[in-house]
């Protein structure tokens, strides 16, 4: 339980680091991806808050683990309890447990607590791995969206121009070990009859390995987030306004099926002629469809595109600022 408090502390430090990063980037708009293809503009703050939500769930999962593990097996004996009338409720309270186990056979043979913690560690490490992967991608010359401080990167032993994201790569790689620990516990338990079997001795290695590892990874992750900075994305792709154009047409009374087709033709024309939406003349737009509004298309930019989103939880500045305000209340 003491170690879980330390893990909670590290998770909260990571949440605070993500929140700090988000607050710096509410109006820094970057490309969002689906299928690793450029999709729609979001803010870097919206990106950071997405990971805030993941680690916030990890915090809730850790709390659930604490509730589930707070069951005392003492008094179960080897299988059938004790011939002495031990007050197990009193003992449980004195030792800081919420309750004593209800069945002695289950109390002896239960290793759910090990599986629960290994699951928590595995899932949290997957979230770390996904975040690290995006940092790695965004730091490449091709994406050029993130700068990693030199203290969290390494050079190449051969190529002096290189700046390698080693810390992020190690966070990504560590997730495999946490998943392996979880599978080890589950595989160990899957065929065991009641009650105690020597196989269960193997739970210690996987449990402690996960415990030590996740504390270190969360600690390093918070420091990594403190040492990255989002750059300004100057390579505008107006094709990412396609949904905005289609939705604008819908607002003007065009059925979405037709709006989708018109916007698709707009994209096709631009691809064939090597142009962006904002480079087309009124005559070109009219030749694609008289329903296309040259003024509306010319006015589009990443911030306007994001702010056109009206739903809660969207990347609009208003929505992201609310997410940040809610997060600040939560973290306090």
Asked about 260 being catalytic, the answer comes back as no
For residue range 229-245, what is the model confidence (pLDDT) as tens digits?
Answer: 999 999 999 999 999 99
Where do the H-state alpha helices sit in 139-202? 166-189
| Strand bridging mode 228-230 / 146-148 | antiparallel
Quickly state the pLDDT bin for 212 (edges 50, 70, 90): very high
Residue carrying structure tokens 């006015």: 299
Residue carrying structure tokens 């037709």: 258
Q: What is the pLDDT of residue 73?
A: 97
Asked about 35 being catalytic, the answer comes back as yes
Q: What is the pLDDT of residue 1?
A: 66
Residues 6 or more apart whose CB falls under 8 angstroms from that of 258 comprise: 249
For residue range 279-311, what is the model confidence (pLDDT) as tens digits?
Answer: 999 999 999 999 999 999 999 999 999 999 999
Tell me the mean pLDDT in the region 5-11: 97
pTM confidence score: 0.94
Q: What is the pLDDT of residue 175?
A: 97
DSSP assignment string, 52-102:
HHHHHHHHHHHHHHHHHH-EE-TT-TTTT--SS---HHHHHHHHT-SEE-S
DSSP letter at 308?
A: T
Query: What are 24's strand-pairing partners?
Result: none
Residue 77 has pLDDT above 90, yes or no: yes
> Which part of the chain is CATH 1.20.200.10?
2-65+110-230
Q: What is the pLDDT of residue 332?
A: 85
Q: What is the pLDDT of residue 2?
A: 81
Buried b or exposed e, range 154-189, using 16+ CB within 10 angstroms? eeeeeeeeeeebebbeebbebbebbbebbebbeebb
pLDDT-above-90 percentage for the chain: 97
Distances from the Cα of 88 to the Cαs of 41, 92, 317, in angstroms?
59, 6, 56
pLDDT-above-70 percentage for the chain: 100
Q: What topology does CATH give the domain 2-65+110-230?
A: Fumarase C; Chain A, domain 2 (1.20.200)
The two three-digit tokens of residue 277, written as one number: 């939406």
> Which part of the chain is CATH 1.10.40.30?
239-314
Residue 161 has pLDDT above 90, yes or no: no
For residue range 85-127, what is the model confidence (pLDDT) as tens digits?
Answer: 999 999 999 999 999 999 999 999 999 999 999 999 999 999 9
**Do the beta carbons of residue 42 and residue 29 sit within 8 Å?**
yes
The two three-digit tokens of residue 56, written as one number: 């916030």
Please identify which of the residues 63, 156, 287, 299 carries the catalytic annotation: 156
Q: What is the pLDDT of residue 157?
A: 87
298 C-beta neighbours (distance < 10 Å), count: 14
For residue range 132-157, what is the model confidence (pLDDT) as tens digits?
Answer: 999 999 999 999 999 999 999 999 88
- CATH architecture, range 239-314: Orthogonal Bundle (1.10)
């Amino acid at each position: 339980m003491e170690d879980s408090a330390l893990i909670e502390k590290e998770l909260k430090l990571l949440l605070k680091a993500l929140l700090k990063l988000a607050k710096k980037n509410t109006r820094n708009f970057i490309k969002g991806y689906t299928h690793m293809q450029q999709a729609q503009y979001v803010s870097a703050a919206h990106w950071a808050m997405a990971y805030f939500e993941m680690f916030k769930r990890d915090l809730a999962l850790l709390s659930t683990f604490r509730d589930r593990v707070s069951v005392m097996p003492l008094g179960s004996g080897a299988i059938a309890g004790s011939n002495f009338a031990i007050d197990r409720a009193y003992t449980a309270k004195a030792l800081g447990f919420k309750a004593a186990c209800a069945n002695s056979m289950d109390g002896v043979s239960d290793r759910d607590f090990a599986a629960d913690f290994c699951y928590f560690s595995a899932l949290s490490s997957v979230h770390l791995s996904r975040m690290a992967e995006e940092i790695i991608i965004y730091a490449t010359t091709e994406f050029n969206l993130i700068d990693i401080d030199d203290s969290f990167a390494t050079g190449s032993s051969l190529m002096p121009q290189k700046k390698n994201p080693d810390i992020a790569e190690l966070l990504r790689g560590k997730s495999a070990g946490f998943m392996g620990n979880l599978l080890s516990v589950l595989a160990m338990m899957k065929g065991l009859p009641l009650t105690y079997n020597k196989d269960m001795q193997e739970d210690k290695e996987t449990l402690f390995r996960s415990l030590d590892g996740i504390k270190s990874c969360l600690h390093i992750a918070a420091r990594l987030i403190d040492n990255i900075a989002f750059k300004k994305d100057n390579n505008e792709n107006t094709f990412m306004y396609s949904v905005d154009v289609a939705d604008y047409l819908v607002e003007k009374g065009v059925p979405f099926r037709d709006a989708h087709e018109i916007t698709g033709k707009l994209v096709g024309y631009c691809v064939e002629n090597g142009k962006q939406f904002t480079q087309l003349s009124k005559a070109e737009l009219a030749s694609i469809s008289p329903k296309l509004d040259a003024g509306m298309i010319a006015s589009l930019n990443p911030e306007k595109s994001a702010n056109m989103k009206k739903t809660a939880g969207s990347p609009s500045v208003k929505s992201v600022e609310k997410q940040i305000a809610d997060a600040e209340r939560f973290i306090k």
